Chains A and B, each alone.
Chain A
Amino acid sequence: MVMKMATVRLTCQDKKDLEKFTKFLALKAAQIIVQSRLGEKVQSKCKPHLSGTDWFNLAIQDLPEVHAETKKALCGDLVNAHLPMCVEISLRTVEGDTMMLETWSLGVLPDQCDPSVRVTYTVYNRMCVLLKSLLSVTRVTPAYKLSRRQGPDSYVICYRIYMGEPQLHNLGEGYNQVRVGQLCTPVGTIQLSVSFRTKMTISPQHTGKDTSIMLKSDHFHPDLSPRHMRYQQSEENNTSLTETIKIGAFADNVKPLTQPGESDLVMPNIPFSSLLTPQHQSPRQHTPPQQAPSQPSSVVTNPETGSGEEAEDDGNGNATPRCASAADSRRSSCSMVSANEDFIMVDLKTPFAGNNANSDLGAFYRDCQSAPQLKTFSEQPTLAEQVEDITKTLEAFESNMREYDDMLNSLCLNENNN
């Protein structure tokens, strides 16, 4: 009843003003929240002599993309929708794991209203104060520090704007809820609050299909790390090379590699199958070699499915661009993410270390990955030297990961053609 009387008493102009103010409050709040999560310090200048251009007397720069997203989410207006607008901030690692960090919600509670308050003056000024509080509070929730440390090789911060009750179940146990501020208007109380995660441990849950070959989150586990295994396996390099190389795989691609009739080379079905499936302790060790051809194909398509997801995401969510606003920059950061994702765990054997008959293959390898020519390949190295060289070679491999990816992909294509 109170509300009805209030709305009746509200003049048409006041109602219009209020709706307009609320809409801009939502637009500016979204800008403040998203910009605070870009990972950069924000600075805007005072404009003492300009007037009428900036809403709420605050120099909030508008990112066009955020503006468009907010407008799309708002559709109508906040006052009549009676549904809060939410800005969800989440973190996405290079491995593709996501973790929701916080949800900001701006809503109107229709049952608490103050019909006496002046719209054009009091409400507007209180909105200014609310936005200032929002600016201050966005800097102190845990997601702020995380966002300042984001990067394409670790994680990126993403945002999503939607209308509706805040979805808080993804914030984990014991999340915190803080009210940023509220203000009374003739049609209800505008309230801005944030719920944020307090437990920051990420539980691996792969969002993509689990068919990509080297997608593992135990990269830094001491027993499973490639560095550790590298030393463990250094002695069996000679045999593992002869076991795994199928000469035919390269035959029509680059140049003839081996003389026919070289009978001491064993030819398994799959080229580099032991490279693709880590031999020890790996969760994938059960993977039968026959599946290997299908695995590389998922590597090729995985970046695409990744970007497909992203495009789908565009309906309701977006990766936060690190610089400025362009959608391109967002996309590029995402493609970097998916590119890194695929070959984190290439667990290399060292194929050229020994004194076997593989020197031609060795040369081919060096051609492919352009590692510096090492003298030890032509000489008889001691075990210690071998290990050291292996380390160097592996490091070179790791630094040339991309070239190596390309080579692997071309190998896989060849295999499929065959």
Chain B
Amino acid sequence: MNARSQTFELTVEGRQVDEAVASLFHTVLFHRSLGKFHYKQEGSYSVGTVGYTDVDCDFIDFTYVCCSSESLDRNLKKEISEFSEALRGNDGPGSGQISLEFFQKKKNRWPFQPECIPWEVWTVRLELIKLNNEHERQVCREKVGDMLTEKILYIAEVMNRHEYVPKMPNQSELDLIFDTSYPDVQPYLFKVSFTTSGPSNTSVGTTMKKLIKETLSL
């Protein structure tokens, strides 16, 4: 099965990386998270309520909405800041991409691990720029905000196409579809992965990594 794939490209200053990625991924996760399921008996369950929070960005003129779940936020931010550090650790302007991948698990024969089948991938490709003064920074704040606005509208558009999402499972298979480890929300299973590269060093290693990754995700 081919996963749907969406790619966003952004040009940002180093300190905007975390917020730019978080605003997009949180918006996606907000759409892809349900209330917690509580099974009464087989075939019947109740669904909890998802709360939401407005988040103002510090380095971008932008506000986004995310699930009111501290642990979800913490996990996502952790992944994003690893990416951010790797990206900004490079000398000079660099680029990189980070992906939010939704997958479902398929049970395998013992002793093999269950197979992970991605069904939707959201990728943010970032190009880092250096700014010289506060005026440029101010312009960039607004520009990145405008670009994020477009992306949010696009996310809403995609979400409302109502394309494939995994079927609601029965109780025993809930963990194959949803991440049930959060106490307050129930997102579809997801993982975050990233790659970075310097200005011009598409080394054999990264190309190979990319090749392998792409092969695996098919």
Residues of B near A54 (CB, < 8 A) are: 49
Provided the pairs A132-B159, A135-B65, A136-B27 are in contact, do residues A41 and B54 lie with their beta carbons within 8 angstroms?
yes
Residues of B near A43 (CB, < 8 A) are: 51-54, 68
User: Which chain B residues (29-57) contact chain A, with CB distance < 8 Å?
Assistant: 30-31, 34-36, 38, 46-54, 56
- Chain B interface mostly helix, strand, loop or mixed? mixed
Q: Are A59 and B148 in contact (CB under 8 A)?
A: no
Cα(A118)–Cα(B49), bound, Å: 22
A413 contacts B by Cβ under 8 Å? no
Closest to B162 in A: A126
Provided the pairs A49-B48, A54-B49 are in contact, do residues A137 and B63 lie with their beta carbons within 8 angstroms?
no
Q: Are B160 and A133 in contact (CB under 8 A)?
A: yes
B136 contacts A by Cβ under 8 Å? no
Q: Are B49 and A57 in contact (CB under 8 A)?
A: yes
Q: Are B64 and A139 in contact (CB under 8 A)?
A: yes
Instruction: Point out the residue from B47, B152, B157, B159 that lies within 8 Å of A140, measured CB to CB.
Output: B152
Closest to A41 in B: B54
A51 contacts B by Cβ under 8 Å? yes
Interface size of B by Cβ–Cβ distance < 8 Å?
38
B185 contacts A by Cβ under 8 Å? yes
Cα(A50)–Cα(B36), bound, Å: 10
Q: Are A58 and B54 in contact (CB under 8 A)?
A: no
Cα(A178)–Cα(B185), bound, Å: 29
Cα(A48)–Cα(B65), bound, Å: 19
Q: Are B36 and A48 in contact (CB under 8 A)?
A: yes
A144 contacts B by Cβ under 8 Å? yes
Cα(A145)–Cα(B149), bound, Å: 12
B153 contacts A by Cβ under 8 Å? yes
Q: Of A180-188, A240-248, A278-286, A371-379, which stretch is located at the interface?
A: A180-188
Residues of A near B30 (CB, < 8 A) are: 132, 135-136
Interface size of A by Cβ–Cβ distance < 8 Å?
36
Q: Are B48 and A46 in contact (CB under 8 A)?
A: yes
Provided the pairs A48-B184, A57-B34 are in contact, do residues A137 and B51 lie with their beta carbons within 8 angstroms?
no
Q: Are A129 and B160 in contact (CB under 8 A)?
A: yes
Provided the pairs A57-B47, A126-B162 are in contact, do residues A49 and B38 lie with their beta carbons within 8 angstroms?
yes
Residues of A near B156 (CB, < 8 A) are: 133, 136-137, 180-181
Closest to A40 in B: B54
Cα(A41)–Cα(B56), bound, Å: 9
User: Which chain A residues (35-79) contact chain B, with CB distance < 8 Å?
Assistant: 41-54, 57-59
Closest to A135 in B: B65
Interface string of B168-200 (1 = CB under 8 A from A): 000000000000000111000000000000000
Cα(A43)–Cα(B55), bound, Å: 9
Interface pairs (5), CB distance under 8 Å:
A46-B51, A48-B184, A132-B31, A133-B156, A145-B61
Beyond A57-B35, A135-B30, 5 extra complex contacts between A and B, CB < 8 Å: A43-B68, A46-B51, A59-B50, A132-B31, A181-B159
Closest 10 CB pairs of A and B: A181-B160, A51-B46, A46-B184, A133-B156, A48-B36, A41-B54, A48-B48, A47-B49, A46-B51, A59-B51
